Structure 1
């Protein structure tokens, strides 16, 4: 007997296309002998559409979701990853894959995540919060990275090395969010750690992945096909342990479920947290599946573990 799983992709954020790719990958990757996939897509305008691309109202969506045993939300960014879809599932009493409302909202907010990490003694890049009214008077303090507080896929992220670049970088970030972060540039290796809460409740960290390259790992670098991912990353034992411990600590403190990708800079002084993604890219060739594949957990098996660990 198969389990009926609603796979939701798309969404209204700048990560719409990335989300569609994740949803298509998961829909194809779920073992058809165990799962009956029901695809649902949220358009850029917020309209829900069914398998036949027919538009539906929320009542129609609710009827379809109630006919499924598990919901697998794969909407990256605002109005999805930020706890919005988790809230819909919880209000409807549906089992769903991934982090709950609180964890999704906290992790999506990079400023709030920094505050949590700092309270745990985990280093983050020195930075400050900038709002629209404060952007014109934001002072130049040296090379910085400017990013939206609550956007993903590295959209709106700029490395600024000259004073004249600060204003346009803030404008680009604030075009996607009402708040931006201005952070000091951190010199270190970019290392990602994937953490999974298994169906039995155990937390496991996959072998870390290193992003090799110069400059900011922006949208074009991430999805243009030129990214150099090395997994497992070549690390000293003490660095690997420090990264894993920090990733597990942040994941637990935020209250995450399912899988999350925790991104760090590895410096001479140890790990510096960059951000936490509770709905990371989930095509077979995305970073998280690659990390678990390096541990011997194939793509379909990873998806199976996530569905079996679905919660209300």
Structure 2
């Protein structure tokens, strides 16, 4: 094996609509990691198979029995896994459970914590019991009848209809009239058989990266989201239809308040690694929307911008996450 460098597998891909976004995140992580300290192995987790992909694009199948794979230096089992798989199976706990059984440390949340946070309505139900402020919500499963008037009575108009377990704003619609409900339901059910309908809060949307540095829970400066579209949808996130302003143009008091709430949620959910939580600040109060346990790391993503704003080199930040799980 080459020197005494640690072998790090960077996982990317996944089985959801976010597969290409995840491949971009994984490529950024592979590029940023210090090659003088780590042997970095890109690993594609795809429906078609699991593969280590070499610099020459040669694919070596993963042995799922122990997560070993062949490299030019021989067969290895990585010392740690850097998880950049968005959606299933990387963000919903499946891979975390697998690596826990194998005894291979990985950089994101544990399997239960990942599964809980990925299920938006379960996560909201838990956090509301701890006094976390959230929008009014209504839950609906595919195949059940729905009383649109009852929904409107509870959440009001406008509201958001979204898949319960999906990311990157896939399947989300903003509904302003009763007539828009039917299409919004069909759109959401393309991503999940469970949906959540929420009051459209009015305020400043911010995103807060939160992480652990050897036991200390820290939060980056919030990023303000200003979408050209009706909300922060896929186009706004990945096709330049938004402004992402770091630090957010909010008061110091609001900044401290939303950072404190992000750190509290991180601790309540027993998170580890880097998470990104979304809030709407309405009348000075942060309302929690959701949290992501494997947030995007591509050049268009928020976390790399927050890391830069904090004066931290991206590779050094990733190294901190890896060293935290190795030790």
- Taking structure 1 as the reference length, what is the TM-score of the superposition? 0.94
Contact 2:163 2:189 in 1 (8 A): yes
List per-residue Cα deviations over 1:153-207 (Å, max 9, x = no partner): 0100100111111111111111111100011111011111110111x21111111
Whole-angstrom CA distance in 2 between matches of 1:203 and 1:238:
19
List per-residue Cα deviations over 1:128-163 (Å, max 9, x = no partner): 111012355443513210100010001001001111
Contact 1:76 1:279 in 2 (8 A): yes
Q: Where does residue 11 of structure 2 map in the other structure?
A: 8
Report 1:112-131 matches (<5 A): 112-131=122-141
3-state SS, counterpart of residue 170 of structure 1: helix
Give 1:98 deviation, angstroms. Answer: 1.2
List per-residue Cα deviations over 1:55-81 (Å, max 9, x = no partner): 636447722396211111111012110
**Corresponding residue to 1:209 among 223, 229, 242:** 223
Contact 1:48 1:61 in 2 (8 A): no
List per-residue Cα deviations over 1:274-293 (Å, max 9, x = no partner): 10001000124420121121
**Corresponding residue to 2:94 among 84, 90, 94:** 84
**Corresponding residue to 1:69 among 79, 82, 98:** 79
Q: Where does residue 117 of structure 2 map in the other structure?
A: 107
Contact 2:148 2:178 in 1 (8 A): no
3-state SS, counterpart of residue 62 of structure 1: coil
Q: Where does residue 283 of structure 1 map in the other structure?
A: 298
**Corresponding residue to 2:250 among 206, 220, 235:** 235
Contact 1:10 1:42 in 2 (8 A): yes
Give 1:120 deviation, angstroms. Answer: 1.5
Whether 1:263 and 2:278 are equivalent positions in the alignment is: yes
Q: Where does residue 164 of structure 2 map in the other structure?
A: 149
List per-residue Cα deviations over 1:236-275 (Å, max 9, x = no partner): 1221121011101111111110000011001105000010
Give the greater-gyration-radius structure (CA).
2
Distance 1:236 1:170, change over 3 A: same
Whole-angstrom CA distance in 2 between matches of 1:135 and 1:222:
33
Moved more, 298-307 or 150-159: 298-307
- Taking structure 2 as the reference length, what is the TM-score of the superposition? 0.90
Q: Where does residue 38 of structure 1 map in the other structure?
A: 41
Q: Where does residue 185 of structure 1 map in the other structure?
A: 200
Whole-angstrom CA distance in 2 between matches of 1:165 and 1:146:
10
Contact 1:97 1:311 in 2 (8 A): no
3-state SS, counterpart of residue 68 of structure 2: helix
Q: Which runs of 5+ in 1 are unaligned?
A: none
Aligned residues: 310
Q: Where does residue 108 of structure 2 map in the other structure?
A: 98
3-state SS, counterpart of residue 90 of structure 2: coil
Whole-angstrom CA distance in 2 between matches of 1:129 and 1:269:
27
Contact 1:78 1:150 in 2 (8 A): no
Moved more, 144-153 or 114-123: 114-123
Whole-angstrom CA distance in 1 between matches of 2:133 and 2:273:
24
3-state SS, counterpart of residue 133 of structure 1: coil
Contact 2:227 2:236 in 1 (8 A): no
